[in-house]
Amino acid sequence: LLSLCHAEEAAVIVSGLRSTDVFVGESATFTCELSHPGVKNVQWWLDGTPLHNNLVTEISEQDGRIHTLTLNDVACHDSGTVTFRAGPLISSAKLLVKGISLLA
């Protein structure tokens, strides 16, 4: 007989953020998967600045376990470290926004 004790069991990060390279004007997506839902205080950051859901920044959650951040229409100054925090859990990855060289 299996006992369901997810409430007492601490969630862990199953799949962390991956560093991403994109070109200016593209969108960058970061995904973090947790072992189970219900983790409180979920927050995304870019270089220490908290991110909020808006036209440029899309923050979504699926089944309470898969957390996704999409940064739309990125610019060179968006390059930096993206951090996902869920309670005591932290995952970080680099975002590199590459300019398009006109000297081909």
- What number is the average pLDDT over the span 61-79? 96
Q: What is the mean pLDDT of residues 7-15?
A: 82
pLDDT given at position 6 = 46
Across residues 3-15, what is the average pLDDT? 72
Q: Which domains does the chain have, with CATH numbers?
A: 13-98 (2.60.40.10)
Tally of CA atoms within 13 A in the half-sphere of 23 that contains its CB:
2
42-56 residue pLDDT tens: 999 999 999 999 999
Tokens of 15: 């799949």
Amino acid at 4: L
Q: What is the pLDDT of residue 1?
A: 47
Beta carbons of 45 and 61 less than 8 angstroms apart: no
pLDDT score recorded for residue 101: 63
Are 37 and 65 a contacting pair, CB within 8 Å?
yes
Say if residue 9's pLDDT is above 80. Answer: no
Contact by Cβ (8 Å): 79, 96:
yes
Does the model's pTM come out above 0.85? yes
Least confident of 4-8, 25-29, 51-55, 89-93: 4-8
